[in-house]
Amino acid sequence: MSASRSGVWSKIKYVAASDRISGLIMLGFALLGLVLANIPATAAGFEHLSHFHLGIPGTNIDMGLSHWAQDGLLTIFFLVVGLDLRQELTTGSLANPKAAAVPMLCAVGGMIVPPILFIAVIALFSNFGAGDPGSLIIASGEVFPFAQTAHGWAIPTATDIAFSLAVLALFAKALPGSIRAFLMTLATVDDLLAIILIAVFFSSLNAWYWFVGIAICAVAWYFLVRMEKVPWIAVVVIGVLAWAMMYEAGVHPTLAGVLVGLLTPARAMYKERSPRAERYAEKLQPFSALVALPIFAFFATGVHFDSITPMLLVSPVVIGIIVALVVGKPLGIMIVAWLSTHVGSLRMPKGLRVRDMLPASVACGIGFTVSFLIASLAYASEELSAEARFGVLLASLLAAAISGVLLSRQSRRFAIADRAVERQEAQALQQEAKDVETTLIDGTVMVTQTFDKGARHHDTSDTDAHATGR
């Protein structure tokens, strides 16, 4: 029985570790939520499920299932993000700021340009579109002031690392590992910046004593996870308390996962083979990739529209998000990459040019998880939030399709170049080869083929017929 369980768990871990499989699962759940929320036969049931309330007695925590997925389950994802960040900052790509400087700056550029384009697009609609100047008409027909619509500026700032890596895994098999490493570093810093955005702009702080509770939980976690034998019951209790304190303090509770993740040791202790942050992230990855993210995507995209019409495609919010993610993300990344290497004194990773990063930078326009979360936080209006999430889904699919085509073409070019180099090396070896014949005492002829980098025996013993012929 234990062997079969181990086999099943190994398969689950394999699926969770596969960028392409886990990414497709999450996309499938997202599309399923959108369909179920808008089919007449299932729309009412889906809405009832989303708003089915569960509360914790004795607290102010009482939410519908969709909010539990967003504020509760998504904490697992942010805990994995926090653990990965801790490991990267200690021994990974972010441990050497000089080596990671270009992708780190590109992440900043990729977060600055999209909001500018989003505001510019909705400003154009506000001044020249239908309706009164200073207001926007969305697909549902409702009118919103420009200032309220502009609250969504942060929606297109985030990159979904899981989906972007899934696109690389599907379409970029022949690309050098340096491109994937560049994207990993960029997306990791992007996650960190998105977390800061959520904490600063989407929190409404409450009583000070909740923050004292958060600090106590943080200190307790810090010491508990450094004990030789970690008391897991106490650790879980502290983690849940930190989440509850965050919720009561008015800070988005998923950030509790980031906090405790960053406080986990990222160097091996007590003669352990690997750091605890790395091991914990590996153990939690299946729950994050196959449970938390798919269920969150299912509810996040499960927004009901009175009618899904072509008007959604010309909604100012939808167009603004599409332009910001599909155009703004790669534009910001490429501009900063060029400036930092051509104007500044920084260098791209060995073997890479700035233009090599264009296909991967387009993949950074896949917003998805964190963009969905920010869309639900940025707009109090259900209509605006629904159209924003629809825009994120369309923009992410469009960015994935464009980057897939570009990455596939780039991958073929790299594969052709690699084969050409291999052929040239083989021809050079053949031209440099020399045959040296040696006749032994017994008349056997030994033929040795020599190269510049050494020698290998082509034939070690000719037959007696050869010897006699000699």
Which distant-in-sequence residues (6+ apart) come within 8 Å of 64 by Cβ? Answer: 50, 51, 52, 53, 54
32 belongs to a structural domain: yes
Provide the pLDDT for residue 257: 92
Instruction: Tell me what the mean pLDDT of segment 193-219 comes to.
Output: 88
Closest CA to 319 of 167, 149, 163, 197: 149
370, 364 in Cβ contact below 8 A? no
Strand (E) positions, 359-444? 434-439
308 belongs to a structural domain: yes
448 belongs to a structural domain: no
Provide the pLDDT for residue 337: 93
409, 396 in Cβ contact below 8 A? no
Provide the pLDDT for residue 444: 67
Provide the pLDDT for residue 243: 94
Q: Mean pLDDT over all residues of the chain?
A: 84
436 belongs to a structural domain: no
The residue with greater pLDDT, 435 or 448, is 448
Q: Report how far apart the first and last C-alpha atoms of the chain are (Å, whole number).
A: 71
The C-alpha atoms of residue 266 and residue 264 are separated, in whole angstroms, by 6
In the sheet with 445-451, reading across from the earlier edge strand, the strands are: 434-439, 445-451, 454-459
User: DSSP string covering 369-392, please?
Assistant: HHHHHHHHHH-SSHHHHHHHHHHH
Instruction: Count CA atoms within 13 Å of residue 408 on its CB side.
Output: 9
Per residue in 106-138, pLDDT tens? 999 999 999 999 999 999 998 887 777 888 888
Provide the pLDDT for residue 433: 58
Confidence of residue 457 (pLDDT cuts 50, 70, 90): very low
396-431 CB burial, b ≥16 within 10 A, e <16: bbbbbebbbebbbebbeebeeeeeeeeeeeeeeeee
265 belongs to a structural domain: yes
154-180 CB burial, b ≥16 within 10 A, e <16: bbbbbbbbbbbbbbbebbbebbbeebb
Which distant-in-sequence residues (6+ apart) come within 8 Å of 252 by Cβ? Answer: 71, 198, 199, 202, 203, 246, 377
Q: What is the CATH number of the domain that holds 330?
A: 1.20.1530.10
Residue 404 reports pLDDT greater than 70 = yes
Q: What is the CA radius of gyration of the chain?
A: 28
Residue 38 reports pLDDT greater than 70 = yes
Provide the pLDDT for residue 452: 53
Provide the pLDDT for residue 432: 62
Instruction: Count CA atoms within 13 Å of residue 200 on its CB side.
Output: 7
Provide the pLDDT for residue 237: 94
Provide the pLDDT for residue 278: 92
Residue 143 reports pLDDT greater than 60 = yes
Specify the amino acid at residue 135.
S
Per residue in 148-185, pLDDT tens? 999 999 999 988 877 887 888 777 777 777 788 888 88
Instruction: Count CA atoms within 13 Å of residue 256 on its CB side.
Output: 33
Residues spanned by the domain of 103: 17-203+252-421
**Low-confidence winner among 197-206, 245-254, 374-383 (lowest mean pLDDT):** 197-206
Provide the pLDDT for residue 130: 74
The C-alpha atoms of residue 434 and residue 426 are separated, in whole angstroms, by 14
Residue 190 reports pLDDT greater than 70 = yes
Q: Which of 54-68, 141-155, 239-253, 326-340 has the highest mean pLDDT?
A: 326-340
Percent of the chain with pLDDT over 70: 89
Provide the pLDDT for residue 76: 93
Number of domains in the chain: 1
Residue 445 reports pLDDT greater than 70 = no
**Low-confidence winner among 7-16, 337-346, 379-388 (lowest mean pLDDT):** 7-16
For residue 351, the 8-state DSSP code is: T
Instruction: Tell me what the mean pLDDT of segment 266-286 comes to.
Output: 91
Closest CA to 298 of 18, 10, 63, 70: 70
242 belongs to a structural domain: no
Structure tokens belonging to residue 64: 């519908």
231 belongs to a structural domain: no
SS3 342: helix
15-26 CB burial, b ≥16 within 10 A, e <16: ebeebebbbebb
378, 154 in Cβ contact below 8 A? yes
Residue listed under structure tokens 């708003």: 51
pTM of the model as a whole: 0.80
Taking the alpha carbons of 359, 360, 362, 363 in that order, is the dihedral positive or negative? positive
339-376 CB burial, b ≥16 within 10 A, e <16: ebbeeeeeebbeebebebbbbbbbbbbbbbbbbbbbbb
Structure tokens belonging to residue 291: 């449970």
The C-alpha atoms of residue 285 and residue 428 are separated, in whole angstroms, by 47
237 belongs to a structural domain: no
